Amino acid sequence: MSHSTPTVLAVSGSLREGSYTRTALQYVLRAATEAGAETTLLDLREYDLPVYDPDLDEQGDEQEVKALMREADAVALGTPVYHGSYSGALKNFHDYCGWDEYEDTTVGLLATAGGGSYGSTLDHLQITVRGVHGWVLPHQVGLRNANEKFENDPDAIDGRRFRDTDLQERVEKLGRSLTEYAFIDPSVTSTRAAGDD
Protein backbone atom coordinates (compact mmCIF):
# COMPACT_ATOMS: atom_id res chain seq x y z
CA MET A 1 0.00 0.00 0.00
CA SER A 2 1.27 3.42 -0.96
CA HIS A 3 0.78 6.18 1.58
CA SER A 4 0.96 8.95 -1.01
CA THR A 5 -1.76 8.13 -3.53
CA PRO A 6 -4.62 6.03 -2.14
CA THR A 7 -6.17 3.34 -4.29
CA VAL A 8 -9.96 3.06 -4.19
CA LEU A 9 -11.77 0.01 -5.55
CA ALA A 10 -15.53 -0.07 -6.15
CA VAL A 11 -17.22 -3.48 -6.34
CA SER A 12 -20.52 -3.54 -8.22
CA GLY A 13 -22.75 -6.31 -6.90
CA SER A 14 -25.33 -5.92 -9.65
CA LEU A 15 -25.40 -8.06 -12.78
CA ARG A 16 -28.02 -5.96 -14.56
CA GLU A 17 -27.06 -4.29 -17.83
CA GLY A 18 -28.59 -0.94 -16.86
CA SER A 19 -27.59 -1.07 -13.20
CA TYR A 20 -28.28 1.96 -11.01
CA THR A 21 -25.80 0.54 -8.50
CA ARG A 22 -23.04 0.62 -11.10
CA THR A 23 -23.93 4.16 -12.13
CA ALA A 24 -23.87 5.38 -8.52
CA LEU A 25 -20.50 3.70 -7.94
CA GLN A 26 -19.12 5.49 -10.99
CA TYR A 27 -20.03 8.78 -9.28
CA VAL A 28 -18.28 7.55 -6.12
CA LEU A 29 -15.14 6.77 -8.13
CA ARG A 30 -15.18 10.08 -9.97
CA ALA A 31 -15.29 11.94 -6.65
CA ALA A 32 -12.46 9.77 -5.30
CA THR A 33 -10.40 10.50 -8.42
CA GLU A 34 -11.01 14.23 -8.02
CA ALA A 35 -9.90 13.91 -4.38
CA GLY A 36 -6.58 12.41 -5.50
CA ALA A 37 -7.14 8.64 -5.52
CA GLU A 38 -6.36 6.05 -8.16
CA THR A 39 -9.62 4.23 -8.83
CA THR A 40 -10.84 0.94 -10.29
CA LEU A 41 -14.32 -0.49 -10.87
CA LEU A 42 -14.64 -4.21 -10.24
CA ASP A 43 -17.77 -5.09 -12.21
CA LEU A 44 -18.76 -8.62 -11.22
CA ARG A 45 -20.36 -9.17 -14.63
CA GLU A 46 -16.88 -9.21 -16.12
CA TYR A 47 -15.39 -11.93 -13.90
CA ASP A 48 -15.85 -15.68 -13.70
CA LEU A 49 -16.66 -16.42 -10.07
CA PRO A 50 -18.44 -19.76 -9.67
CA VAL A 51 -20.40 -20.33 -6.46
CA TYR A 52 -17.75 -20.36 -3.75
CA ASP A 53 -16.62 -23.85 -2.75
CA PRO A 54 -14.16 -23.90 0.17
CA ASP A 55 -12.97 -27.37 -0.82
CA LEU A 56 -11.49 -26.05 -4.07
CA ASP A 57 -8.10 -24.31 -4.04
CA GLU A 58 -8.83 -21.94 -6.89
CA GLN A 59 -11.90 -21.18 -8.99
CA GLY A 60 -12.34 -18.99 -12.05
CA ASP A 61 -10.99 -15.46 -11.58
CA GLU A 62 -10.65 -15.85 -7.80
CA GLN A 63 -6.99 -14.86 -7.65
CA GLU A 64 -7.51 -11.77 -9.81
CA VAL A 65 -10.38 -10.35 -7.76
CA LYS A 66 -8.66 -11.15 -4.47
CA ALA A 67 -5.52 -9.37 -5.67
CA LEU A 68 -7.58 -6.28 -6.53
CA MET A 69 -9.02 -6.33 -3.01
CA ARG A 70 -5.66 -6.79 -1.29
CA GLU A 71 -4.07 -3.97 -3.29
CA ALA A 72 -6.84 -1.48 -2.52
CA ASP A 73 -6.47 0.97 0.35
CA ALA A 74 -10.23 1.58 0.41
CA VAL A 75 -13.19 -0.30 -1.05
CA ALA A 76 -16.74 0.74 -1.92
CA LEU A 77 -19.22 -2.13 -1.91
CA GLY A 78 -22.35 -1.42 -3.94
CA THR A 79 -25.42 -3.61 -4.20
CA PRO A 80 -29.04 -3.59 -5.22
CA VAL A 81 -31.49 -4.45 -2.44
CA TYR A 82 -32.72 -8.02 -2.81
CA HIS A 83 -35.25 -9.30 -0.25
CA GLY A 84 -34.04 -6.81 2.34
CA SER A 85 -30.39 -7.79 1.97
CA TYR A 86 -27.60 -7.65 -0.59
CA SER A 87 -27.29 -9.47 -3.90
CA GLY A 88 -26.19 -13.06 -4.31
CA ALA A 89 -23.46 -11.89 -6.69
CA LEU A 90 -21.95 -9.67 -3.99
CA LYS A 91 -22.40 -12.36 -1.33
CA ASN A 92 -20.54 -14.85 -3.52
CA PHE A 93 -17.71 -12.34 -4.09
CA HIS A 94 -17.67 -11.61 -0.35
CA ASP A 95 -17.35 -15.35 0.39
CA TYR A 96 -14.14 -15.49 -1.65
CA CYS A 97 -12.57 -12.66 0.37
CA GLY A 98 -11.48 -12.94 3.99
CA TRP A 99 -9.15 -11.29 6.46
CA ASP A 100 -6.29 -11.16 3.96
CA GLU A 101 -8.42 -8.97 1.70
CA TYR A 102 -10.38 -6.89 4.22
CA GLU A 103 -8.35 -6.53 7.41
CA ASP A 104 -7.66 -2.86 8.21
CA THR A 105 -9.23 -1.80 4.89
CA THR A 106 -11.52 1.23 4.83
CA VAL A 107 -14.90 0.22 3.40
CA GLY A 108 -17.78 2.39 2.17
CA LEU A 109 -21.27 1.00 1.60
CA LEU A 110 -23.88 1.88 -1.01
CA ALA A 111 -27.28 0.26 -1.62
CA THR A 112 -29.86 0.97 -4.33
CA ALA A 113 -33.48 -0.01 -3.72
CA GLY A 114 -36.26 -0.44 -6.24
CA GLY A 115 -38.62 0.56 -3.45
CA GLY A 116 -38.21 2.55 -0.28
CA SER A 117 -36.14 0.41 2.06
CA TYR A 118 -32.38 -0.18 2.13
CA GLY A 119 -31.50 0.00 5.87
CA SER A 120 -31.28 -3.73 6.50
CA THR A 121 -29.08 -4.16 3.41
CA LEU A 122 -26.53 -1.67 4.75
CA ASP A 123 -26.75 -3.30 8.20
CA HIS A 124 -26.06 -6.77 6.77
CA LEU A 125 -23.08 -5.50 4.79
CA GLN A 126 -21.68 -3.68 7.80
CA ILE A 127 -21.91 -6.79 9.98
CA THR A 128 -20.23 -9.05 7.42
CA VAL A 129 -17.43 -6.56 6.69
CA ARG A 130 -16.75 -6.19 10.40
CA GLY A 131 -16.59 -10.00 10.57
CA VAL A 132 -13.48 -9.92 8.36
CA HIS A 133 -11.97 -6.89 10.15
CA GLY A 134 -12.80 -4.24 7.58
CA TRP A 135 -13.36 -0.66 8.81
CA VAL A 136 -16.76 0.61 7.68
CA LEU A 137 -17.15 4.35 7.23
CA PRO A 138 -19.98 5.96 9.22
CA HIS A 139 -21.10 7.71 6.02
CA GLN A 140 -23.20 5.19 4.07
CA VAL A 141 -25.48 5.79 1.11
CA GLY A 142 -28.87 4.37 0.23
CA LEU A 143 -30.98 5.26 -2.81
CA ARG A 144 -34.72 4.72 -2.51
CA ASN A 145 -36.71 4.21 -5.72
CA ALA A 146 -33.44 4.27 -7.62
CA ASN A 147 -35.09 4.36 -11.04
CA GLU A 148 -36.53 7.77 -10.15
CA LYS A 149 -33.20 9.24 -9.02
CA PHE A 150 -31.58 9.51 -12.45
CA GLU A 151 -32.40 10.98 -15.81
CA ASN A 152 -30.77 10.29 -19.14
CA ASP A 153 -27.94 12.60 -20.14
CA PRO A 154 -25.49 11.44 -22.81
CA ASP A 155 -22.78 13.71 -21.38
CA ALA A 156 -23.06 12.33 -17.83
CA ILE A 157 -21.49 9.27 -16.20
CA ASP A 158 -22.98 6.08 -17.68
CA GLY A 159 -25.31 8.36 -19.65
CA ARG A 160 -27.22 9.28 -16.49
CA ARG A 161 -27.24 12.19 -14.11
CA PHE A 162 -28.83 12.61 -10.71
CA ARG A 163 -32.12 14.50 -10.57
CA ASP A 164 -31.39 15.51 -6.96
CA THR A 165 -28.12 17.37 -6.42
CA ASP A 166 -28.27 16.72 -2.65
CA LEU A 167 -28.35 12.97 -3.29
CA GLN A 168 -25.51 13.28 -5.76
CA GLU A 169 -23.53 15.13 -3.09
CA ARG A 170 -24.15 12.27 -0.62
CA VAL A 171 -22.90 9.75 -3.17
CA GLU A 172 -19.84 11.83 -4.04
CA LYS A 173 -19.07 12.37 -0.35
CA LEU A 174 -18.62 8.61 -0.08
CA GLY A 175 -15.86 8.78 -2.71
CA ARG A 176 -14.16 11.69 -0.96
CA SER A 177 -14.42 9.95 2.43
CA LEU A 178 -12.90 6.74 1.07
CA THR A 179 -9.97 8.79 -0.21
CA GLU A 180 -9.58 10.84 2.97
CA TYR A 181 -9.71 7.85 5.30
CA ALA A 182 -7.95 5.28 3.11
CA PHE A 183 -4.97 5.21 5.48
CA ILE A 184 -6.85 5.50 8.77
CA ASP A 185 -5.05 3.88 11.70
CA PRO A 186 -7.41 1.16 12.94
CA SER A 187 -5.83 1.07 16.40
CA VAL A 188 -8.42 1.48 19.14
CA THR A 189 -5.81 2.20 21.78
CA SER A 190 -6.12 5.58 23.45
CA THR A 191 -4.85 7.21 26.66
CA ARG A 192 -8.35 6.96 28.17
CA ALA A 193 -8.70 3.30 27.17
CA ALA A 194 -5.31 2.46 28.66
CA GLY A 195 -6.34 4.14 31.92
CA ASP A 196 -9.49 2.02 32.12
CA ASP A 197 -7.51 -1.23 32.41
Question: pLDDT at position 193, please?
Answer: 46
pLDDT in tens, 146-192: 999 999 999 999 999 999 999 999 999 999 999 999 998 766 554 55
| pTM for the model | 0.91
Question: pLDDT at position 2, please?
Answer: 46
1 pLDDT tier (thresholds 50, 70, 90):
very low
The one-character DSSP state at 82 is B
Nearest to 20 by CA among 79, 69, 76: 79
pLDDT in tens, 56-96: 989 999 999 999 999 999 999 999 999 999 999 999 999 99
Buried b (16+ CB within 10 A) or exposed e, 12-37: bbbbeeebbbbbbbbbbbebbeebeb
Rounded (5°) CA angle 72-166-156: 65
In whole angstroms, what is the distance from residue 172 CA to residue 105 CA? 19
CATH superfamily of the 7-181 domain: Flavodoxin domain (3.40.50.360)
pLDDT at 40 over 90: yes
Q: Percentage of the chain surpassing pLDDT 90?
A: 87
Residue 11 forms beta bridges with which residues? 42, 77
pLDDT in tens, 106-134: 999 999 999 879 999 999 999 999 999 99
In whole angstroms, what is the distance from residue 169 CA to residue 83 CA? 27
In whole angstroms, what is the distance from residue 55 CA to residue 53 CA? 5
